[in-house]
Structure 1
Amino acid sequence: MGLILRTFPPHLVDAVVASCGRTEHRQRLLPSRTTVYFVLAICLFTQESYARVAELLADGSLWAGAEHAAGRPPTTAAISRARARLGPEPLAGLFAEVTRSSLARTASGDRYGRWRVVSADAAAVAVPESEENRSCYGLRPAVVPAQGRSSNSPRGALPRVHVLALGDRSSLAVRHAVLERPPDHSSGFLARELCAVLGPGDLLLAGDEFDDPVALAAACASGADLLWQTSSRAPLHTHAVLPDGSRICELAGSPCTVRVIGAGTSIASLATTVLDAQAAPASELVGLHRHRWRLLTSLASSGTLSPGRPQVLRSRWPDGVEQELWGHFLIHHILCGLRHLTGS
């Protein structure tokens, strides 16, 4: 818990809370700052109950300054009300604040030629079934244990929230993320939000999340170059075949001329806005794309939302889902930083 306090000191948390308009105007049992730390704690101790996490924090310093009766930790009901008052914005703002400088820094392992290499990847995270979550996210197939389903849901189905994130392979860190909130939940919408932090000199590696006209337009408008997986069904008009076997093409739905790598007949191809085969040979781009950063691998490396666990998020309402996801990304940020410092 000391690491949480050092990474997100009270003055930083207070400033972000204030910028989101969540500063209290009267004394509360659980002030916003304390609630932020509690959300981080439940994302760190994912297998513990609210009550147990509160007990763990009571042994530390995170309850300092809160007016609890007889010094006892808050009840589960009090914590739930405090989380609802706080909302997701302070956690999202805190993540944006701590990742802003790290996104600007470029590690040598994330360079290819003249480009800074970043990767985009998507994941779907199961959330508890509730009327609010069903209404927002719908029911989607998910492999969950029987005790995780209610009698009202189709077998193996839970609401799931989609996340599109930006990261780099050398640190495994999540540099930027956007969360699905229907009805604005198309891959193109998420990609447009993600591309806001990209610019000239970036090379974005992506899967088929960017095989979408809106997503491609957003990437091209950012000034960044793109290397992504494209469907073999997309009509191609070839202008030239280059010495490395790649082709200069017009790709249906793409706002710009692209270079296609691969047969494109029975398997998915790669497409890129990098047209210079000497600066970026096809074989090198294939290897670069194959070993790109992946979101679930990154999360699993620190045990955060590990895909192998039969768990879902705790929150039964969409604002809580978003709040908790930002909390997991913040804990992941701490653990990636710690791994970098220790060299592991």
Structure 2
Amino acid sequence: MVSGKVWGPAHLGELSVHLPAELVDAALEATKTRERRIRALPSRVIVYFVVALALFPELGYKSVFAKLCLGAGVLGTVSASALAQARRRIGVGPLRWIFEILRGGAPTVSGAGDWFGALLICAIDGTILSLPDTAPILARYTKQAGYHGGTGYPQARVVALIACGTRSIIDAVFGPTSIGETTQTPALLPSMGPGMIILADRNFAAAALLHRISETGAHYLVRVKNARHLPIHQSLKDGSYLSVLAGRKVRVITAAITLHTSDGDRTETYRLITTLSDPAQGTAGELMGLYHERWEIETTFREIKSTMGGGRVLRSRTVALVEQEIYALLIAEQLLRCAMTEATNAIPGLDPDRASCTIALTLARDMIVLGPATSTRPGPGWQALAGRIGDHLLANLLPPRRLRTGPRTVKRAISKYQARATKPHGPTQPARLTIEIINTTVGLTESTRP
């Protein structure tokens, strides 16, 4: 018989509903990292501890473990070195296995921003995570060179595929920044398929990569450079036209997008290509408006790096533990997204954008201290479905999404001298967007104002 004190810290509060002990044990069995004898720190406990580290980036090992023990009603007296050794013992395998099971797990809804007709709206993009400046990490994750001496820390590039409506992670890969986004993207192709439309920026407009995306059965809507030569093969009635990209038929849409704010108007020309060749599948105006949903993936990255991570450098100091930590970050984000989507799905027609990630994260941290949720959640109706986190989310919904804009300037410049000469970062402003589809032979043919 083993004391409950040993197994007590194996929880994540109410998030344990989405990461049950049975799933963790299955991961340990599959990766052959389950212990042969019961230790003071069982592997199951350490998996939960590693994910908890992602939720509490500002706290040290002992403080995070104390929160898990407090929620379990036990007294934990474990040294930081013992916890670090236990992390090395389980390695990256169980966390990678769990992420593979959880990714794409947040249920989708039929609300705005989730589906375009019968196609699930998805986006692909990359982001950068800063890592500790240690010799073992520098052997694999190098610093980026550039102006002002380059980056101060080695960095990892994460490329993710998300569902824009719920912002749940469908798949993600990562590696050194020396490996570009388009080089990492093929690893995400198995997660693409029929019933999807993939949105991406100009960096992904490589013909060979787009053809491979199309071969999965998924459609794409990607921005390309305005100077790119795409000859007109057939003009369409909505102002778009059919062309050929490296031997494959594509549809080209060009538009003048004007942003109206109190400071004046700013216009930029966008050119998109898509495999949706028939205007009946989506007019040029509809597709140009759809492309704006690509920014949802930037919100996902902000939640991981700023809301949850606080903009901090990752804490792990070896390659194996840094990769373990990155998977823990992705798992924690997916768990929060599952809880948030579960809450908004409890009320028909409620847009997932109305759920606050900050509130979900705060409540998830509090619930770790209060202890794991019971199998039967309290409350009637939607409260039983959404749980305690969902209860607070639905009681504190964000206002409906509104169009705002802000200057894309660096708030913390590398050089203080450069910062003096740079225009200060101003607040966001309400904005109105006008989209005018440009027919390359006739001129302006369609105007939409979403």
TM-score (norm 2): 0.65
Aligned partner of 2:98 among 90, 94, 114: 94
Query: Is 2:54–2:325's contact at 8 Å kept on the other side of the alignment?
Result: yes
| Aligned counterpart for 1:257 among listed residues 249, 270, 276 | 249
Is 1:113–2:108 an aligned residue pair?
Answer: no
CA distance in 2, matches of 1:213, 1:136: 29
Q: Determine the structure 2 residue equivalent to 1:304.
A: 304
Cα distance change of structure 1 residues 267 and 319 upon mapping to structure 2, 3 Å threshold = farther
Aligned residues of 2:65 and 2:76 also touching (Cα < 8 A): no
Q: Which amino acid aligns with 1:166?
A: L
Which of 209, 214, 217 aligns to 1:215? It is: 209
Residue 50 of structure 1 corresponds to which residue in structure 2?
A: 61
Aligned to 1:269: 271
Unaligned runs of 5+ in 1: 65-70, 144-152
Q: How is 1:224-263 mapped onto 2 (pairs within 5 angstroms)?
A: 224-251=218-245, 254=246, 256-262=248-254
Map of 1:289 onto structure 2: 291
Deviations 1:226-263 (A, max 9, x none): 00122234332331222222221222xx4622112127
In terms of mean alpha carbon deviation, does 48-57 or 24-33 score higher? 24-33
Which residue of the partner structure matches residue 37 of structure 1?
A: 48
Structure with greater Cα Rg = 2
Partner amino acid, structure 1, of 2:305: L
| Cα distance, 1:171 vs structure 2 | 1.7
Deviations 1:62-110 (A, max 9, x none): 9x7xxxxxx64322222222222222221121122123554xx542132
Distance 1:263 1:99, change over 3 A: closer
Partner of 2:327: 326
Shift of 1:52: 1.4
What is the CA-CA distance between 1:297 and the residue it aligns to? Answer: 1.0
Q: 1:234 to 1:315 in 2, by over 3 A?
A: farther
CA distance in 2, matches of 1:96, 1:158: 28
Greater mean alpha carbon deviation, residues 164-173 or residues 232-241: 232-241
The 3-state SS of whatever aligns with 1:178 is strand
Distance 1:4 1:106, change over 3 A: closer
The one-letter code sitting in structure 2 at the alignment partner of 1:240 is Q
The answer to whether structure 1 residue 9 and structure 2 residue 4 are counterparts is: no
Q: CA deviation at 1:61?
A: 2.7
Counterpart position of 2:127: 123
CA distance in 1, matches of 2:104, 2:31: 17
* TM-score, reference length from structure 1: 0.83
* Structure-2 residue corresponding to 1:82: 86
Is the 2:192–2:216 Cα contact (8 Å) retained in structure 1?
yes
Q: What corresponds to 2:428 in structure 1?
A: none
Q: Sort the Cα spacing of 1:202 and 1:155 in 2 relative to 1 into closer, same or farther, 3 A.
A: closer
Q: How many residues align?
A: 320
Same amino acid, percent of matched pairs? 29
The 1-side partners of 2:135 and 2:27 are apart by 31
RMSD: 2.8
Distance 1:73-1:222 versus aligned 2 partners, 3 A rule: farther
CA distance in 2, matches of 1:58, 1:72: 6
Which residue does the alignment assign to 1:149? none
Q: Does 1:336 align with 2:340?
A: no
Query: CA–CA distance in 2 between the matches of 1:272 and 1:326?
Result: 32
User: How far apart in 2 are the matches of 1:217 and 1:20?
Assistant: 35
Cα offset, 1:278, TM superposition: 2.6
Paired residue type of 2:92:
P
Look up the SS of the partner of 2:72 in the other structure: coil
